[in-house]
Amino acid sequence: MSAASPASRWRGPLQLVAKRIGLAFVTLGLVSAVIFTISGLLPGDAAQELLGQGATPEQIAALRSEMGLDRPALVRYFGWLRGIVIGDPGKSLVANMPVADIISERLPNTLVLAGLTTLFAVPIAFLVGIWSAVTRGHAADRALNIMTLAMVALPEFLVATIAVLVFSVKLLWLPSITIVPQDPTLVEFLRAYAMPVMVLGVGVIAQLGRMIRAAIIAELDRPYVEMAVLKGVSQPRLIFRHVLPNAVGPIVNAMALSLSYLFGGAIIVETIFSYPGLASLMVNAVTSRDMPLLQACAMLFCATYLFLVLIADTVAILANPRLRQG
Amino acid sequence: MSSTRLFRAVARLPLSGKIGLVLVIFWIVIAAIGPFIAPYPPGSFSNQEVFSESSSEFWLGSDYLGRDVLSRLLSGARFTVGLSAVAVAIAASIGTGFALMAAVGPHWVDELLSRAMDTLISIPSKIFALVLVAAFGSSLILLTVIIAITYVPGNFRIARSLAVGLARLDYVEVARARGEGRLHLALVEVLPNMIRPLCADIGLRFVFIVLLLSGLSFLGLGLQPPDADLGSLVRENTSGLAEGALAIIAPAVAIASLTVGVNLLIDAATQGKAR
Amino acid sequence: MNPAPHVAVRNLSVTVRAPDGSPLRIVDDVSFTIQRGEVMALIGESGSGKTTIALSLLGYARSGAKISGAITVGKASFGGAGQATLAAQRGNRITYVAQSAAAAFNPSRRVIEQVIEPALIHGTASAAEARKHSMALFEALALPNPETIGSRYPHELSGGQLQRLMAAMALITRPDLVIFDEPTTALDVTTQVEVLQAFRKVVREQGATGVYVSHDLAVVAQMADQILVLNRGKVREQNSVKAVLETPSDDYTQTLLAAAQPVIKAAVPTVAPTAVGAAPLLSIEGIHAGYGAIDRNGCAAHPVLTDVSLHIGRGAAVGVIGESGSGKSTVARVVAGLLAPTAGTVSLDGEPLAASLNRRTREQLRRIQIVFQNADIALNPAHSVGEILGRVLRFYHGSSSHQARQRIAELLDLIRLPAGIADRRCDELSGGQKQRVNLARALAANPDVILCDEVTSALDTVVREAILELLAELRRDLGVAYLFISHDIATVKALCDEIVVLYKGTRVESGLRDSYAAPPFHPYTDLLISSVPELRTDWLSSVGPQASARFAHMHESAALCRFVPRCPVAVAGRCDVTPPPHRAMTAGNTVLCHRTESELTGS
Ligand SMILES: Nc1ncnc2c1ncn2[C@@H]1O[C@H](COP(=O)(O)OP(=O)(O)O)[C@@H](O)[C@H]1O
Ligand code: SF4
Ligand SMILES: [Mg+2]
């Protein structure tokens, strides 16, 4: 019955968040083990592969010890993990330069593309989601539902192809390759990014919009909503004051998924538009079987994913009085 | 009796669901009989002209090497549909099998499986598939297995929450109190009540798999020549993009009509139940 | 001559679409009027259209429902033909108290914000005035700490408190009409009394006109002036409370009245407690049990049962009562082997049973069967009735399919269902039919004892009486024993020879049925018995306010009597210091209390 003091009021949620952070690190550790096992231990001998069929056993042995492949698996794993943690995941086998340098060159591009797409797509997704939730079952909702359903299922290269055909081939408005000039003017900048942002945005709007709709509708079916209606609460107040605060958890979670998709999942879009981001870098690493680069990219994407989900969890905990009070 | 029930269920579907159903049936039929109705062998250079327009001889024109697009599409569709179907079947069997073990087995089995699957699910599926392809390559069988493995954790998560919810219900408790074994609990008491929602999940996962597979093939990391799925057809013909060639549009639209069709059908079927 | 009625409903019908698409009338041509300042009760079984009528007074229909007919409340009417529509009066002149307050409060907002929200959005008061008014209402509703209780979140409050807070929310705009929709159905009886007393007080003080929806005639008798009896959407009888209770004219009303006081015709003469020395059929000795991880001392993380013992003779019926959460179901789960106790033993015919299921023999399992409360989830919807019963027969008796078919027909006959039902799936059956099948599944094992966990609680009164009758017949004809769990003392008294009272996982009293007719009782038993509403209009007034507990500030403790914080007769220096003893009373019952027999008789 006694009111908790301000300090102790925050202890519950902080403990909960701290637990989530710990859990995220444990998961990341397990993920690193999975990735290293798959890409570093299972595929056989990297030295053999680098040197090709013609190499003598001595050459192979020499390269193996140079690459440290003759050490026990656990030692190799922890060596690799240490490299990742201190920000030096080794040297690229193909480009022959530090992986860290390659990644740090590409990272800003990915962040710009992801950021622009977020700015473009998230507000529209909210509009779509809220609008179809409040018009549930009516014509507007049904039309939006079919549209987003189709957009979710379209392969990205089809959307990209159509966009190129329309805007580059037929209308000649936009370039079909995304090259960002040095010191661009705002118009140049927007023109350069218009197509990849549009294509990525289609997927995000559809996916996120549908999840927002689902989250709101799940709340609309709860008894407190009927009670609010019977109190005479207006529709906007119902949505913004009563329903959305309760739907924060699933919505931020959906946003975390969308953002992580933008960060590491833009593989097709980056490839089609020859955009120098991290996703296309990872594809190159797969094609050239450049394992150190591949592993670093994979770890970066997984860490981002876990980080975003962690943020979403934290927001959900703080938004929920029951969890907030431990 | 059950066929009239099926018929009535179909009749009750909204228009979008009927369209979806037609598309799905169309692609199943094409996957089954496609190669037999193809006008040309898929690999033969039957046309002098590359990227030709649609004509009475070549309904969908020719590709970048002068091959008949329709014939290649018919054989590509079999790869896309077949491989995805096999992969989703494997993924769902493993995922749902694990889920049932987690639901009726001892607590530690659930802990262990959930922990492992939570780890795997933290690797975004595209990234996971890429790492696996880089490590093991992508022969037809490997590709199927890789894609199946990629989607096990997702199916497990859904199936586990269904199964754990059902296993708590009183009718399972009653069977447990009767002394029934775990296999009976899983297969007779729990599984039959999961089938409907699971079907929806499997359908959605099939769509993801089709998209992932064609994405990989589009990047050149999926099916390797001479085999070609619909994604490979798009990749082969990217040089025709500037002319808007049918050879690139047709396979892309084919994939879209398959995935959109499945989605429309599932959406209509699940909504019909909720209403 | 009467002034114009405040509420007038004429030819109200509400239509929905049945699952197969055909229109279905859930309210059929209902007309009534309510005078200003009167309370009208709508009474009927679940599905009789009570809530639908109540909601239509707010101009509200749940999705898919269509209202037709004329409704006026004051100057507002359904179509807006008066000065306003009913919908515009929602939350302002006409307000609503929902059945489950726990679900009807928004979980993420503080209670006070929700309580004063109607006043703010309808502009009937400023925020400061509304707060002040709400505190006065909290006070009038006997809520603890009226100044601060509003700053809490719904999950921090109990069901009874939330229900009263919701009444405050309904009264904050000083409405002309308040609609109470089964406001105490989700509460324990002991809480129900307090809430009813609070409601009646404020309704009288405010002179509000009211509609009170309930399935419980005895509750309605306390709250209403007029009663409208509904059955399947139709009005069966409308009259003053006194007339309905004393001279019901409609046969359906008579059935309802009869079912409210169950008398079982097939009653079995009380089975004498097992003779000294002979082992009872089933005995439970010193059980401790709980949920969650078990610590080093062998205690569960969430302990539920402490030292519970009881014995069931062959063919006897032992009732277990207690409020929700008192551990009744946990007792059944321990006996069935679904939950291993942390201490204590369960024995069958004097032979100890293994704690966990998989170490009991199939024969031991067969002899103890369990039947759960909610037949909707106790029968697997994927199987037909025949498959469900057949499985038990094959499992325990190895019956061939021919034998099974014959036995299924016998079983269905035993529970008074047509043989054709064997081919039906359970989701096609009615609630009462499902509960019968649920029983038949237990009977298929030919058990010695059936654990019935709240088997009648989810049923409507009329169906409940039929199931109780069936249980009594089965016991008489088959000699099966029951461990009968219920929160309703009237039901238990009707069926059982012996009754055990659980409070927070401890056995506070046990004894033969007759010892529950008059004191001495355990103080909790006393509260329980005196809280059951009786079918007379002056019952609530005669109960008087609940005596205050002198140790209300104390926390419940496992080392003391758990009832201390609520006990009106707790003794300082004893109850707050040492655990109470089990005392044998001359009437044969045993009571866990510091008070002596004479003290308890006097209280
Ligand atoms: N599976 C469970 N896990 C944790 N706590 C439980 C579980 N089942 C019941 N409880 C708790 O045990 C207590 C007693 O529950 P129960 O035996 O169901 O009481 P009753 O049948 O009298 O309502 C309650 O506090 C309840 O919350
Ligand atoms: S032991 Fe004391 S507190 Fe407990 S019931 Fe008896 S009198 Fe009340
Ligand atoms: Mg219970």
Q: Using one digit for the tens of pLDDT, what is the confidence trace for C207-240?
A: 889 999 998 888 999 989 999 999 988 999 999 9
Q: Which of residues 214-253 of B touch A (CB under 8 A)?
A: 214-215, 218-221, 231, 234, 241-244, 248-249, 252-253
Ligand 1 close to Cβ of residue C330 (< 6 A):
yes
Question: What was the ipTM of the complex prediction?
Answer: 0.85
pLDDT band at C347 (very low <50, low <70, confident <90, very high): very high
Q: Do C365 and B192 touch (CB under 8 A)?
A: no
Examine the domain organization and report whether C460 and C495 are in the same domain.
yes
pLDDT in tens, C440-484: 999 999 999 999 999 988 888 888 888 898 999 999 889 899 999
Q: How far is B193 from chain A (nearest CA, A)?
A: 22
Examine the domain organization and report whether C345 and C224 are in the same domain.
no
State the count of interchain CB pairs (< 8 A) between A and B: 132
Examine the domain organization and report whether C461 and C593 are in the same domain.
no
**Which amino acid is residue C524, in one-letter code?**
Y
Residue-level pLDDT at C116: 94
Ligand 1 close to Cβ of residue C304 (< 6 A):
yes
Mean pLDDT across C5-24 = 86
Residue-level pLDDT at C480: 93
pLDDT in tens, A105-160: 888 889 999 999 999 999 999 999 999 999 988 889 989 998 998 888 888 888 88
- Say if CB C455 and CB C371 are below 8 A apart: yes
Q: What would the two tokens of residue A309 be?
A: 């989900």
**Which amino acid is residue A180, in one-letter code?**
V
pLDDT band at C117 (very low <50, low <70, confident <90, very high): very high
Phi, psi of A235 (to 5 degrees): -55, -50
Residue-level pLDDT at A1: 39
Q: Is residue C268 part of a domain?
A: no
Residue-level pLDDT at C1: 45
Question: Which domain CATH number covers C149?
Answer: 3.40.50.300
Ligand 2 close to Cβ of residue C563 (< 6 A):
yes
Q: Is residue C255 part of a domain?
A: yes
pLDDT greater than 80 at residue B48:
no
Q: CA nearest C228: which of C42, C73, C65, C34? A: C42
- Say if CB C502 and CB C321 are below 8 A apart: yes
Q: Chain A residue with minimal CA distance to B125?
A: A265
Mean pLDDT across A26-52 = 80
In angstroms, the CA C215 to CA C603 distance is 32
In angstroms, the CA A73 to CA A95 distance is 25
Mean pLDDT across C358-383 = 91
Task: Answer with the one of C203, C230, C260 that is the final residue of a domain.
Answer: C260
Residue-level pLDDT at A2: 42
Q: Do C121 and A242 touch (CB under 8 A)?
A: no
Q: Domains, chain A, ranges and CATH?
A: 103-324 (1.10.3720.10)
Ligand 2 close to Cβ of residue C389 (< 6 A):
no
Ligand 2 close to Cβ of residue C592 (< 6 A):
no
Mean pLDDT across B247-268 = 88
Q: How far is B21 from chain C (nearest CA, A)?
A: 22
Mean pLDDT across B59-69 = 72
Rounded to the nearest 10°, the torsion over CA A222, A224, A226, A230 is 180
**Where is average pLDDT lowest: B97-106, C262-271, C436-445?**
C262-271
Examine the domain organization and report whether C229 and C348 are in the same domain.
no
Ligand 2 close to Cβ of residue C500 (< 6 A):
no
pLDDT greater than 80 at residue C495:
yes
Residue-level pLDDT at B273: 46
Mean pLDDT of all residues belonging to chain A: 85
Examine the domain organization and report whether C236 and C306 are in the same domain.
no
Mean pLDDT across C582-594 = 90
Which chains reach chain C with 3 or more Cβ–Cβ distances below 8 angstroms? A, B
Residue-level pLDDT at A44: 64
Q: Is residue C265 part of a domain?
A: no
**Where is average pLDDT lowest: A201-205, B71-75, B182-186?**
B71-75
Examine the domain organization and report whether C528 and C513 are in the same domain.
no
Q: Domains, chain B, ranges and CATH?
A: 32-42+54-273 (1.10.3720.10)
Q: Is residue C275 part of a domain?
A: no
Residue-level pLDDT at B51: 67
Which residues are placed with Cβ below 5 angstroms of ligand 3, an ion? C 329
Examine the domain organization and report whether C486 and C551 are in the same domain.
no
Q: Do C90 and A319 touch (CB under 8 A)?
A: no
Examine the domain organization and report whether C559 and C501 are in the same domain.
no
Examine the domain organization and report whether C469 and C532 are in the same domain.
no
- b/e burial code for range C403-434 (CB count within 10 A of at least 16 → b): ebbebbeebbebbebeeebbebebeebebbbb
pLDDT in tens, C557-567: 888 899 998 88
| Number of structural domains in chain C | 3
Q: How far is A266 from chain B (nearest CA, A)?
A: 10
C286 Cα to the center of ligand 2, angstroms: 21
CA-nearest residue for atom 6, ligand 2, is C593
Q: Is residue C274 part of a domain?
A: no
pTM for the model: 0.86
Ligand 1 close to Cβ of residue C326 (< 6 A):
yes
Q: How far is B4 from chain C (nearest CA, A)?
A: 15
**Which amino acid is residue C481, in one-letter code?**
A
Residue-level pLDDT at C339: 92
In angstroms, the CA C447 to CA C468 distance is 18
C486 Cα to the center of ligand 3, angstroms: 8
pLDDT greater than 80 at residue A182:
no
Task: Answer with the one of C517, C536, C571 that is the final residue of a domain.
Answer: C517
**Where is average pLDDT lowest: A288-292, C213-217, C241-245?**
A288-292
**Where is average pLDDT lowest: A79-83, B6-10, C150-154, C195-199?**
B6-10
At a CB cut-off of 8 Å and minimum separation 6, what does C255 contact?
C462
In angstroms, the CA C73 to CA A52 distance is 91
pLDDT greater than 70 at residue C251:
yes
pLDDT greater than 80 at residue B57:
no
Q: CA nearest B243: which of B50, B17, B29, B15? A: B50
Mean pLDDT of all residues belonging to chain C: 88
Tell me, rounded to whole angstroms, the distance of Cα C420 from its chain centroid.
33
Q: Do A1 and C169 touch (CB under 8 A)?
A: no
Q: What would the two tokens of residue A287 be?
A: 């094609």
CA-nearest residue for atom 4, ligand 2, is C561
Ligand 1 close to Cβ of residue C293 (< 6 A):
no
Residue-level pLDDT at C311: 92
CA separation, residue C85 to residues A226, C72, C78, C90 (Å) = 18, 9, 5, 9
Of C365, C379, C381, Cβ closest to residue B179:
C365
Examine the domain organization and report whether C230 and C313 are in the same domain.
no
Task: Answer with the one of C517, C552, C579 that is the final residue of a domain.
Answer: C517
**Where is average pLDDT lowest: B14-18, C84-88, C187-191, C287-291?**
C84-88
Examine the domain organization and report whether C28 and C58 are in the same domain.
yes
Residue-level pLDDT at C402: 92
Q: Is residue C271 part of a domain?
A: no
Mean pLDDT across B141-145 = 89
Q: Is residue C181 part of a domain?
A: yes
In angstroms, the CA A286 to CA A94 distance is 11
Mean pLDDT across C104-129 = 92
More confident residue, A262 or C262: A262
Examine the domain organization and report whether C477 and C492 are in the same domain.
yes
Q: Is residue C543 part of a domain?
A: yes
**Per CB distance under 8 Å, which residues of C are interface residues toward B?**
336-338, 357-358, 360, 362, 365, 369-370, 372-374, 377-383, 391-392, 395-396, 441, 445
Mean pLDDT across C523-548 = 84
Residue-level pLDDT at A288: 83
pLDDT band at B13 (very low <50, low <70, confident <90, very high): confident
C560 Cα to the center of ligand 2, angstroms: 9
Residue-level pLDDT at B175: 94
Residue-level pLDDT at C269: 61
Containing domain of residue C77, as a range?
Answer: 7-260
Mean pLDDT of all residues belonging to chain B: 85
pLDDT above 90 as % of chain A: 32
CA atoms within 13 A on the CB side of C140: 19
Counting runs of H as helices and runs of E as strands, what totals does chain B give?
Answer: 11, 0
CA separation, residue A87 to residues A84, A101, A252, A289, B151 (Å) = 5, 10, 29, 21, 31
C374 Cα to the center of ligand 3, angstroms: 10
One-character DSSP codes across C546-576 = PPPPTTTTSPP-TTS-TTGGG-TT--TTTTT
Of B242, B244, B263, Cβ closest to residue A153:
B263
Mean pLDDT across B28-51 = 76
Residue-level pLDDT at C548: 74
